[in-house]
Every structure is written in structure tokens, then in C-alpha cells.
Amino acid sequence: MLSDTGEGEQSGERKSRARNPICYACGVKIHSSAWRLMLLSAGLQVVIFPLPGLYWLSWIAVAPLLIALLRARAPETLQVDAAVRLAPASPWQGFVLAYACGIIWYLGTCYWVFDTMHRYGGLAIPVALLVLMAASMHEALYHGLFGLLLATAARGKVGQRRALVLAPLFWVVAELARTRISAFPWELLGYAQTGNPTLTRIATLTGVYGLSLEIMLVNSVFAAAFLVAKERRRWLLVAAFAAAILLQAGQWLAPPAAPTDKTALLVQTNVPAQEGWTIEYFQGTLRDLTWISLHPPGGKDGQQFNLIVWPESPSPFFLNDASFREVVAALAQQSRTWLLVGSIGVESASASSRHTSEVFNSAGLISPAGELTARYDKVHLVPFGEYVPFKSVLPFMDMLTDQVGNFARGASREPVDAGGQRLGVSICYESIFPDEAREPVRRGAGVLVNITNDGWYGDSGAWKQHLQMTQMRAVENGRWLLVGTNTGMTASVDPYGRIVAATGRKMRTALAAPYGLLSGTTFYTRHGDWFAYLCAIISVGAIIARFLRTSSQ
């Protein structure tokens, strides 16, 4: 009799599964419609960033994921009619759904990791693919965290409403965790609106996280429209579309031109990554770069600049190499201009007791008299690109840094002084860390300078993604930003994040870049990521309150 009952229950469950398509993979029992919505959201989250950069879709990109998380499963019993409303995901289901979304988002956005690891890291194709997949699975944990928090908040009475209200806060929490824990805050949601100079004014208060929250608020309203009764749906959709259109229209309300009183010459060196530099090639490259620095395309011979910048590049330009120092000293003397040059430093720029054998990714500052007066050593190095974390545990990963570099970490973010111009220098992907990039401005920098070698990204969209994130640093700190790149795009960015002058890509050229020295600091410069931490505090409080209410019932 027990056997018959068991067989009947199993048969009923099989019929229910046929009526209600549910994914039973790994036992998570997620409704198939939730998986489809998750896939749609993942695709939308990919296309809002360069390339292709369909930024206007950011207002709806996360809404399908929100709906999926809040309609992921049937009620407790499986013997239900298909018309019964689906229930919110359990915390585990929420994590799985959002985690899968994060993996797809990372693969679609950071696909260039494969080419970098294969072409420049020297890894075989299968190993490079494995690295990309491992990175995707790691970074997707923060999407998973968002899903876990949302599903936890959605349980109980008024759960869906509470979850939608808290969703923007939870998203900011996940972005803050990605920035602070894994240290790879690539393309946070707010960057999709970098080109919206009116909307980005909020970043001077909150940093890019405020933009992420703003975008998520609109996404939450769109999601709510599909989770309420049909008679209320129209008004929520009207409100959501009106908000999205109004906020997006800010990109056409151009602020006034920012004043300029100085011009820098940004030399785009276009030096290829290669091994086996010969003396002839080294000297020929320096002659070319010197010539273009003294005779810039479209410029006038003898034109006076306030600063000349050579970017980070794969060139073996050592600051302690006499032949290199002679060339850059002669250039500074002949041009009567301060020269900031991407190079390799061997001696520590700080007063610490480091060994002189350590090597740094540096920017050397040469005075018009030809003297090396200051040096900035890169503080935030690229893991597995410029150093190996946990080297004692992963000694075999030396093969990557043997191809790219093996550097020591710098110790100071103090601005460098170029004859009264205090320059806030960052190198390469240091510019994607909002809280770190504000430090030189907080210490008195009047202009930001980022030098980078985006040649490592090849022909992918990563160079544009990097530039988009770097532009936000100008907005947050209210400063002009000079972006000197090896392969392009080299640009001058105003304090509103607008590119006012730029070069093409993959050419050896120079850009006369207007800029100005500004004083004063924004609220964000002074207080950093206060807004993101406030979102975290509120989120933790909401989750604790949710559990306390449950335990008291």
C-alpha cells in the first residue's frame, strides 16, 4: 500500500513537471521561464557597454533578472495549475540564477581576457580558455550575491515589494564587494551612463555607485510593472518609460565648455609588444618619438606646451639606463617643457627600506633642465599580469609575468610637481578604482593624468571600456583628465567626462590636448565611497530585520 502510494505520488509529480516546465538540474527546481528571463537580462547587460555600447538599454537591462528572481518557482506543491502565480526564488535558487547571469555577462564583456592570456601571456588556447572561464566563475559570484540577497528579502508577506525597493541597494552592495574583495570593478552598471553629462553630476557626490543605484531604480519599476495586476501595469510602465526617457535626455543638455588655459602634448607611441629588442630598433624608436614630440602633426615647430606625456608601453625604457635618460633629458631641454614618460623604475621612489633590485612600473618626470625630479610607481598592480598573488602557492603562474612583467608595488599616491602643476598620475587600470583615483586630488592634484598601454587588449572593445571608466574619474573629482595611450585612443577629457580632443587608434601620432588646472574638491573626493557603504549598512539592517520578523512569528 505504501509502495502504491509512492508510485502514485511519483506519477503525479512527473505529470506536474510536464505541465509546469521546471529545470531540475542540480536539484534547484527553477521554472524554465526564469531561465529565459535570466538569459535575456545577461544579453542586455552585455550590450550596454562598449562595444557595441547600447547604453540606453541600461534602464531595462536588469529588469528581466529581477522578474526571474521573483518568479522562479511554483508554490510548495508541484500539483498546481499553470495559471498559479510563480513564487520568488529561494535564497539558493536566487544565487544560482544570478550567478549564471554573471558568468554570461563576464564572458560577453571581458572576452578579451582570452586573447590577452593567449597572445601576450603565452598560454596555449585550452589553458587561456580555462583562465577566462575561471575568471568568469569568480567574478560572477557578485551577481550571485545580489541574487541571494534579493531572494532572501523576497520571502514572506509583502516580500516582492520589499525586494524591489531594496534591489538598487543590493546591487550597489554587490558592486562594492567586487571592488573591495576581488579588486576588479570592471564596467559597474553606472558606467553605462558615462556619456550623460547631466546625469553624471550625481557622481560628484556618490561616485559611480550613485549612477548604478539610479539605473537600478528604473529597472525595479519596470520589473514591478510585470509583477502586479494588469490594471496597474499600464501606469507603472508609463512611469518607468517616462523616468528612463527623462534621465536619458540629460545627455543632450550639454553643460558649458570647461575653461582651459594650458595645452599638453600627448604622444601616442604605438609601440608593438615584442621580444628581442635590438639596439638599432631601440634607438630608432627613440628617434621617432623624439621627432614627433618636437614636430607634432598639425602643430607648429617650436610650439610651446605645458607638458609632454609619453604613455605606458611595452618598450624597455629604464629610467636608470643612461642612453634612455640622455634622450629624454635632451628632449625636455630642447622643448623647454616638463616631460612625463612611462618607463621602468628600478630604485624605490619612496623613503622605505626596499631593496634597489626591485622593479616598478613607473612614470618619470623630467624637468626642462633635463633632470629626473620625481617618479610615480604604480601602486595597484594587475594580478597575474604584473605580479603573482599567493606566489608561494602558485609558483607555476610565473610563466605569465615572465611574458608581461614582474613588478613591485609602489608606496605613494602623492601628486608629482611639474613646475607648479601638481599631476595626479595613474597607470593603466588603476583608473578603474574610484576610491583610489581620488587620492591624488585629495592631496592637491590640479589635473589627472592616466598613462596606459591598451595594446594588450588587441582589437577587442576593452580599450573603449577602459576609457569609459577612466572618464568617470574626471567627473567624480571635478578635474581635467589627460589620457595618454600606446595604441589609442589618446584623449583630453573635461571635468564633465566629455572627450574634447582625441586621436585615432593604432597610429604613431601626437595630440595637442587642452586642459586647465583646477582647485577645490568635490564631496566624493573628500569622502570617497560613503554612499556605497551606506547602501551596505541599510542592506544589512534590512536583512537582519527580515530574519528577526520571521523568528518572532
Three-state SS string over 290-341 comes to: HHHHHCCCCCCCCCCCCEEEECCCCCCCECCCHHHHHHHHHHHHHHCCCEEE
| Catalytic (active site) residue 280 | no
From the number of C-beta atoms within 10 Å of its C-beta (0-12, 13-18, 19+), residue 141 rates as buried
Asked if the model's pLDDT at residue 542 lies above 60, the reply is: yes
* Predicted local distance difference test score (pLDDT) of residue 4: 38
* Predicted local distance difference test score (pLDDT) of residue 299: 77
* Predicted local distance difference test score (pLDDT) of residue 28: 61
One of 428, 430, 436, 476 is an active-site residue; which one? 428
* Predicted local distance difference test score (pLDDT) of residue 392: 58
CA atoms of 12 and 7, how far apart (whole Å): 9
CA atoms of 121 and 5, how far apart (whole Å): 61
CA atoms of 130 and 15, how far apart (whole Å): 40
pLDDT 10s digits, 236-284: 999 999 999 999 999 999 899 999 999 999 999 999 987 779 999 999 9
pLDDT 10s digits, 212-234: 999 999 999 999 999 998 888 99
CA atoms of 243 and 225, how far apart (whole Å): 14
Question: How much helix, strand and coil, in percent to the nearest 5, is found in the chain?
Answer: 50, 15, 35
CA atoms of 39 and 97, how far apart (whole Å): 10
One of 175, 187, 312, 414 is an active-site residue; which one? 312
382 falls in which pLDDT band (50, 70, 90)?
A: confident
One of 187, 378, 430, 436 is an active-site residue; which one? 378
CA distances from 184 to 104, 305, 349, 431 (A): 17, 36, 26, 11
553 falls in which pLDDT band (50, 70, 90)?
A: low
pLDDT 10s digits, 59-70: 999 999 999 999
Q: Give the rounded percent of residues in the chain with a pLDDT score beyond 90.
A: 76
27 falls in which pLDDT band (50, 70, 90)?
A: low
Asked if the model's pLDDT at residue 298 lies above 70, the reply is: yes
3-state secondary structure 189-207: HHHHHCCCCCHHHHHHHHC
12 falls in which pLDDT band (50, 70, 90)?
A: very low
* Predicted local distance difference test score (pLDDT) of residue 300: 72
Where are the chain's structural domains? 16-254, 262-515
Residue range 533-540: mean pLDDT, rounded: 98
158 falls in which pLDDT band (50, 70, 90)?
A: confident
CA atoms of 493 and 513, how far apart (whole Å): 9
Cβ 339 vs Cβ 308: under 8 Å: yes
Q: Report the SS3 class of residue 482.
A: strand
550 falls in which pLDDT band (50, 70, 90)?
A: confident
CATH tag for 262-515 (out of 3.60.110.10, 3.30.420.40, 3.40.50.2300, 3.10.560.10): 3.60.110.10
7 falls in which pLDDT band (50, 70, 90)?
A: very low
Least reliable range by pLDDT among 11-25, 428-442, 484-498: 11-25
Least reliable range by pLDDT among 51-55, 392-396, 468-472, 488-492: 392-396
| Catalytic (active site) residue 428 | yes
Residue range 78-96: mean pLDDT, rounded: 74
CA atoms of 187 and 169, how far apart (whole Å): 18
Could you tell me which of 108, 139, 130 has the C-alpha nearest to residue 39?
A: 108
Asked if the model's pLDDT at residue 353 lies above 60, the reply is: no
Residue range 176-189: mean pLDDT, rounded: 96
pLDDT 10s digits, 315-335: 999 999 999 999 999 999 999
> From the DSSP assignment, how many helices (H) and strands (E) are in the chain?
19, 14
| Catalytic (active site) residue 378 | yes
For cell 588556447, what's the residue? 125
Name the residue with higher pLDDT: 199 or 73: 199
Asked if the model's pLDDT at residue 23 lies above 70, the reply is: no
Cβ 478 vs Cβ 525: under 8 Å: yes
Q: Average pLDDT of the chain?
A: 89
Could you tell me which of 513, 449, 487, 509 has the C-alpha nearest to residue 289?
A: 509
* Predicted local distance difference test score (pLDDT) of residue 393: 60
Residue 337 CB coordination number (10 Å) = 23
End-to-end CA distance of the chain: 38
405 falls in which pLDDT band (50, 70, 90)?
A: low
From the number of C-beta atoms within 10 Å of its C-beta (0-12, 13-18, 19+), residue 463 rates as buried
Could you tell me which of 510, 507, 516 has the C-alpha nearest to residue 303?
A: 510
| Cell output for 436 | 583610489
* Predicted local distance difference test score (pLDDT) of residue 8: 43
Residue range 405-416: mean pLDDT, rounded: 90
Could you tell me which of 365, 350, 483, 471 has the C-alpha nearest to residue 420?
A: 365
- The answer to pTM > 0.85 is yes
Alpha helices in 20-62 (DSSP H): 32-47
Phi and psi at residue 378, to the nearest 5° = -60, 130
* Predicted local distance difference test score (pLDDT) of residue 399: 55
342: which strand partners?
363
156 falls in which pLDDT band (50, 70, 90)?
A: confident
